[in-house]
Amino acid sequence: MSIQYINITESEFLSKKLLFKYMPLEFALGTIKDKYLWLCNPVIWKDPFEKRFIEAKYQINGKEVDFPLKGQLFCSCMTQTPTSEAHWNNYSSGQIGISLKLKRRQLLQILNENISDFDIYIGKVDYIKTSELKKKISEIENIKTIHPLKLGNRFLQIKLLLLKRIAFQYEDEIRVLAVKKHKTKENGLKMPYTMQPSDLIDTITIDPNIGRNVEDVLKSLFKKEYSFKKVYKSQLYSMQNDIKIEL
């Protein structure tokens, strides 16, 4: 099975060079040092509306059943928005945050290397009103035209995991979703890659809140140990020295 695209085409996905992935330093070091992509189990997402469909119980022919892909589906969330304060706050989880600029073509190469182990999807998130998310599936505007509208429809299953509240529209999110062959209770999975990390990652940007000493240590680590050329501290809170304001 080849990579499937939902809410976006392959050509649209590749029309831009980079994707931005925010994560705590610990996860970034794992991605680089141990050469894997981390995909998390959606049941551990913080937003209850975001994991609404995978946590729900469904009434099918008088029986209560789980979401079919629960325990099999894992996701990596990335953004097409270069930077925002919300990204640093949300994805660093109170730790030192790191932003990785991933090269899209190289990311596709990694996903294709793992296609024999997982069913893989690339999807663009649909942002809708909270009131829409609360409706019956058959009444959700972005979903009701799917045919057949059955819970066993894989296209429907993935579409439901690409719905998010409109309050998060600034994220302009792309998701990589991988479906394992068997169910598991793991919080995530590690998708290995063989290329050099510096071939996958164009730029590393470090948390804007860190001090100078930590900045120097991390820059040295990424440049000398892992051969990255573009490593910067985010300038989100930087102030120019000579400020002149006219009334």
DSSP line for 71-107: TTEEEEEEESS---HHHHHHHSTTS-EEEEEEEHHHH
Beta bridge partners of 99: 22, 205
The token pair at 139 is 């009444």
Which pLDDT band holds residue 243 (cuts at 50, 70, 90)?
A: confident
Q: Given this model, what pLDDT does residue 93 score? A: 63
Pairing of strands 201-206, 97-103: antiparallel
Does residue 241 lie within any of the structural domains? no
| Residue 246 within any structural domain of the chain | no
- pLDDT score for 245: 81
When the pLDDT of each residue in the chain is averaged and rounded to a whole number, the result is 93
pLDDT given at position 240: 63
Q: Which residues contact 145 (CB under 8 A, 6 or more apart)?
A: none
Q: Does 217 fall in a domain? A: yes
DSSP tag of 48? T
Is 242 inside a domain boundary? no
Question: How far is Cα 81 from Cα 78, in angstroms, rounded to an integer?
Answer: 9
Which residue range is the domain that position 85 belongs to?
A: 4-233
Alpha-carbon gap, residue 130 to 47, rounded angstroms: 12
pLDDT above 70: percentage of residues in the chain: 98
Domain assignment present for 179:
yes
Using one digit for the tens of pLDDT, what is the confidence trace for 76-124?
Answer: 999 998 877 878 887 766 789 999 999 999 999 999 999 999 999 999 9
Of the chain, the percentage scoring pLDDT greater than 90 comes to: 83
Number of domains in the chain: 1
Whether pTM > 0.85 for this model: the answer is yes
Residue 238 maps to a domain: no
| pLDDT tops 90 at residue 161 | yes
In a domain, 240, yes or no: no
At 92 the pLDDT is: 65
Residue 1 confidence (pLDDT):
77
Encode pLDDT of 33-53 as tens digits. 999 999 999 999 989 999 999
Kindly tell me if the per-residue pLDDT of 237 is higher than 90. no
pLDDT of residue 174 exceeding 70, the answer is yes
pLDDT tier at 239, thresholds 50, 70, 90: low
Residue 221 located in a structural domain: yes
Say how far apart CA 156 and CA 178 lie, in whole Å. 15
